[in-house]
Structure 1
Amino acid sequence: MLTRSGLLILFSAVLSGCSITSQEQHQQTLNAISNIETNIQSDYSSLNQSVQTQQEQIATLEQQVADMSDTLKIMRQNQAREAANRAEPQVVYVEKEVPVPQKSDKAVLGEQEWVWIDAAGSNYKARVDTGATTSSLNATDIQEFERDGKTWVRFSLAHTQNGEGESEPLATIEAPVTRWVKIRQASTEDLERRPVVELRVRLGELHEKTQFTLADRSHMEFPVLLGREFFKDIAVVDVSQSYIHPKFVAEKK
């Protein structure tokens, strides 16, 4: 067993060790605080240097703006001086003759007209189509035959109404074939061979020969379609008007 004096010696040693440990921790704390102060001082110095640099840059920009303002002011003064010294342009008036437009001698046709077909001896409703090149007739019962060594056709020309609630009389026309054309229908890829005949028609003051392609137009509103070849160089079309010219009335014999 330890004696009383031994216990005292042991207790004194423990207290001495605790005292040494406390002093070391205190010194470490002081060192850490010193390091923090050093870092803060360094950061402050860097920030202060950055602010000073930015202030110098701002001062340089302000000087450049002032210089540009002075330059712009001088340029405006020079422009004003040049404008004041520049002579005013002289205005020269030149007389120019403007040609007076001449009245056109071409006939005016509506989009829809009555046409007289000499071979049929009757008037028929016709559509004047600026988009079509050739003209066409509503021909049914087309029969091909030979006369004087040439190919002729005989066909019927009629229309359901003449515009007055009456049926048009059926007219039979015979005419020589001028040429043949091949037409492709939209509903089939086969080519249909159609005859072309030349007939004389009247429309207003016009009395001209024109070529017609014979086709069954009974399902259409107009039995006669007049293409550009009929009115080329002799008439113009006003699509806003219809039936400008009256029906032709043949003299009674």
Structure 2
Amino acid sequence: MIMIYKHDHSLKVNTRLKVEPHKALPIIGWREWVTLSDLGISKIKAKVDTGARTSALHAYDVHEYVEGHKKMVRFKVHPMQKDTHSVRYAKAEVVDKRLIRDSGGKVTLRPVIITTIRVGELKWEIELTLVNRDQMGFRMLLGRQALRGNLLVNPQKSYLFGKSK
């Protein structure tokens, strides 16, 4: 732990701030191409959103069902912005259902799944909520829970892991 001493002129006291040194983490831009191979999505543009706690994936025709003793969900995804012809069919285990408040303040109950994300050569598991994002600019949001301990964000940069062809 590093101790930093800050002199506060208005209070005439020394304030001790505790600062944890971070490990060297890769830096991601405010938007990146990512892969969700467990869901059959080889590329999808994600907006990195540190204001969003949980990551969200555009999904429609969402149907929950039971397979064995597991709660499952099957759904469709349009992975490319402004393209409703390209469709990916996916299914995953539902690990939770959460009330999520969107940027407009509307609260919806969403299924939560866990899937593997790949950004460049980096891979790790993240939680994703499924919601229809057809009217949104990005088909996926990468929230701060998925970033924590894995990446740092440079909001002035885009596609630091490469542009999609």
TM-score category, normalised to shorter length: 0.7 to 0.9
In structure 2, relative to structure 1, the CA distance for the partners of 1:219 and 1:116 (3 Å cut) is same
AA aligned to 1:224 is M
User: Does 2:57 align with 1:137?
Assistant: yes
Partner of 1:182: 99
Higher strand share: 2
Partner of 2:126: 210
Deviation at 1:160, TM superposition (A): 4.5
Pick from 87, 98, 113: which aligns with 1:197?
A: 113
In structure 2, relative to structure 1, the CA distance for the partners of 1:142 and 1:152 (3 Å cut) is same
Higher helix share: 1
User: Does 2:135 align with 1:223?
Assistant: no
3-state SS of paired residue (2:145): helix
Residues 114 and 125, structure 1, Cα contact 8 Å, conserved in 2:
yes
AA aligned to 2:157 is Q
How do residues 1-253 of structure 1 correspond to structure 2 at under 5 angstroms?
Answer: 105-118=24-37, 119-161=39-81, 169-183=86-100, 186=104, 192-246=108-162
In structure 2, relative to structure 1, the CA distance for the partners of 1:107 and 1:152 (3 Å cut) is same
Deviation at 1:201, TM superposition (A): 1.0
* Deviant stretches of 4+, over 6 Å: none
- What number of residue pairs does the alignment pair up? 143
- The two structures have a TM-score, normalised by structure 2, of 0.77
- The two structures have a TM-score, normalised by structure 1, of 0.51
Deviation at 1:221, TM superposition (A): 1.1
The structure that has the greater radius of gyration is 1
5+ residue gaps in structure 1? 1-101
Quote the Cα distance in structure 2 between the aligned partners of 1:169 and 1:122: 12
Q: Percent identity?
A: 33
Quote the Cα distance in structure 2 between the aligned partners of 1:143 and 1:223: 19
